[in-house]
Amino acid sequence: MTWDLSKLYAGFDAPEFLNDVEALKTGADAALAQARAMEVTVPALEEALRVSSELTTLTIKLMNYTQLTLAADANCEPAMAAYTRLMPVMNRLEEGTSALSAKLGACDDLDALIAQSELLRAHAFMLREMKKNAAHVIDPVLEPTVLKMQLTGGSAWEQLRDQLDSNHMVEYTFDGKTEQLPLSAVRGKAYSPDADVRKAAYEAEIAAYPKMEIPMAACLNGIKGEALTLCELKHFDSVLDMALDSANMDRATLDALLQAMRESLPMFRRYFKLKAKLLGYEGGLKFYDLFAPVGRMQGDYTPEDARALLVKEFGAFSPRMAGMIGRAFDERWIDMYPREGKTGGAFCSGVHPLGMSYVLTNFEGSYSSVSTLAHELGHAYHNECMRDVPVLMADYPMPLAETASIFNETLLAQRMLEKADKPMRIAMLEQQLGDAAQVIVDILSRFLFESEVVERRKDTALSPRELCQIMLDAQKQTYGDGLDPECMHPYMWACKSHYYSTGVHFYNFPYAFGQLFAVGVYALYEKEGAAFLPTYEKLLRSAGSGSVREVAAGVGIDVADVNFWRSSLKVFEDKLNELEALAE
């Protein structure tokens, strides 16, 4: 199953695509001139919002078509050419946003203006954020040059990294047969029930990274070096502060989250050792066994099986979600299987103007693949709940972006647990703990890794050897004796695309936030039952209309209180206690 991008455009040479590119270029120039000449009045702000809405709609369509094409085929030359043409236009739009932000920063009566207009009130949070961000606008004399240099700097490094990853073929040998497989397919073998398959895939993967470690390290050094420069130009104290600002999240919330995560490490190390014992050995878990199935789980799901299961289970919670899942399959929103040239992992990309979302997975038939599909369709459901939100308010921060996806994973797992026999219950509990360990323990290791890389990058570029050592140190701090020290993964920095995002640095803690916040939200659903659905949809709809702390407070959750995070983590400790009892 591959997705149908013709809903966006018929091709890169289609008149509609070419006309929209020109309209966006012309509109970006006009919007910049308008912002620079603007006197901040109600009519002027209303016009700026109307223009920005039109340009954002064009941007969403054009960039989705280009980037989704490249995600499915990193070697598509027309898409690469279109991306190159569009990036200077993106810079022009950013200049316009900066100019408008500077104008709002100098406006002393913004709240009074907002009160006079229904349109302005609907965009109040965005306007107030733009006023606040005036303190972080690059000097307008420097900004055009800085943005232009980014095209051959961070953006180029990010694009190169994606091409390296998508085209990286691994020599995999098993049972006397050697074949060349995409990196994503080899990594997918970590879910095999056969320990020999997992071990062979791990060894092949580790052996393959030196072939591309030098350009990968260059990409990472270039992107983090640029981040440090931008941090200085935008007057942030640190790259982390810049990331928190982008996430609409305060330091007190992050500190509470990190404290609870660190406190939970001994519990997760217990889990790793238990899993090693269930797999037949003592001590720390071998890295290639992190995703090994334990117990007896239904396997060999087809896409049709996955669809039927998801429609049934989520339909009982929300008929609207069940209908959306049906549309996703019928209208080919999903690109399902791994192949050469296709990016690894999974993601969902919303297309607000069309009221739909595109989903990429690398489906291999396991329950984990079905859970991943449920996760990504959770993102799509979040977008579905925002269909009637103005396009400028439909962009929500990373920490809240994981709410619906993790909620979906949790709900599906609970439904499966309810009808599981003992071997399947063991498998389900272990799967939930394993997934949680990835977004608590592994995410914390990624946070520590990126913190150290950013700090050391201030003075020098880092070699592949140094990056591997920093990664191993981060894994030792977090996994501890729960992981076999002789079987870790020094190249996690090369295979995770999150480190290479030029738009989002510290693309890690939002996942832990999302995991534990969604568990807290799910606890509210368990308490209230079907009556919770309107509250849940309201929460999702409001995700772009306030800070993370404000949106969470809307459902009675204080995310700056470490006890909230502890209560969510207690859910996993209870699951571990049950798994230990069943394992005996």
Q: What is the pLDDT of residue 309?
A: 95
Q: Is the pLDDT of residue 299 over 70?
A: no
User: Does any domain span residue 431?
Assistant: no
- Taking only the tens place, the pLDDT of each residue in 554-584 is 999 999 999 999 999 999 999 999 999 998 8
The answer as to whether 167 is a domain residue is no
SS (H, E, C) 118-172: HHHHHCHHHHHHHHHHHHHCCCCCCHHHHHHHHHCCHHHHHHHHHHHHHHCEEEE
**Mean pLDDT of the region 254-272:** 98
Q: Over 90: is that where the pLDDT of 551 sits?
A: yes
422 or 267, higher pLDDT? 267
Q: Could you report the per-residue pLDDT of 320-335, keeping only the tens digit for each?
A: 999 999 999 999 999 9
- Among 457, 480, 500, the domain boundary falls at 500
pLDDT above 70 for 202: yes
Best CA proximity match to 62, nearest among 5, 4, 3: 5
Residues 136, 260, single domain; the answer is no
pLDDT tens for each residue of 486-509: 999 999 999 898 999 998 999 999
277 located within any domain: no
Dihedral sign computed on CA atoms, order 202, 207, 212, 217: positive
| Nearest Cα to Cα of residue 435 among 501, 514, 505, 497 | 514
Three-state DSSP at 350 gives strand
What mean pLDDT comes out for the span 302-313?
95
For residue range 103-146, list pLDDT tens digits in order.
999 999 999 999 999 999 999 999 999 999 999 999 999 999 99
Instruction: Say what the pLDDT of residue 233 is.
Output: 96
Q: What is the tens place of the pLDDT at every residue in 370-406? A: 999 999 999 999 999 999 999 999 999 999 999 999 9
CATH of the domain at 43: 1.20.140
- Residue 157, in any domain of the structure: no
- Residue 363 is which amino acid? F
Query: Residue-wise over 559-568: b if at least 16 C-beta within 10 A, else e?
Result: bbebebbbbb
519 and 396 within one domain: yes
Query: Are both 310 and 400 inside the same structural domain?
Result: yes
With a cut of 80, say whether residue 298 has pLDDT above it.
no
Q: Higher pLDDT residue, 543 or 503?
A: 543
When pLDDT is averaged across residues 349-358 and rounded to a whole number, the result is 96
Boundary-marking domain end, from 472, 500, 528: 500
93 occurs within a structural domain:
yes
- Of the listed ranges 123-137, 192-206, 294-308, 555-569, the one predicted with least confidence: 294-308
**pLDDT mean over 261-265:** 98
Q: Does one domain contain both 136 and 224?
A: no
Domain range holding 415? Answer: 303-425+509-583
* Whether residue 11 is found in the same domain as residue 124: yes
- Three-state DSSP at 359 gives strand
Contact 165, 497 (CB under 8 A): yes
Domain boundary among 106, 136, 152: 152
**Residue 471 banded pLDDT, cuts 50, 70, 90:** very high
| pLDDT-based confidence at residue 209 (cuts at 50, 70, 90) | very high
Q: Is the pTM for the entire model greater than 0.95? A: no
Query: Could you give the number of structural domains in the chain?
Result: 3
Instruction: Identify whether residues 521 and 469 lie together within a single domain.
Output: no
Q: Considering the domain boundaries, does residue 185 fall inside one?
A: no
pLDDT over 80 at 288, yes or no: yes
Q: Are residues 46 and 126 in the same domain?
A: yes
Same domain, 409 and 322: yes
pLDDT, residue 300, reads 82
Q: What is the pLDDT of residues 420-442, one digit of tens each?
A: 888 889 988 998 999 999 999 99
* pLDDT at residue 345 in the model: 83
Q: Does 289 share its domain with 311?
A: no
Mean pLDDT of the chain: 94
Same domain, 526 and 473: no
Per the CB < 8 A criterion, the answer to whether 100 and 40 are in contact is no
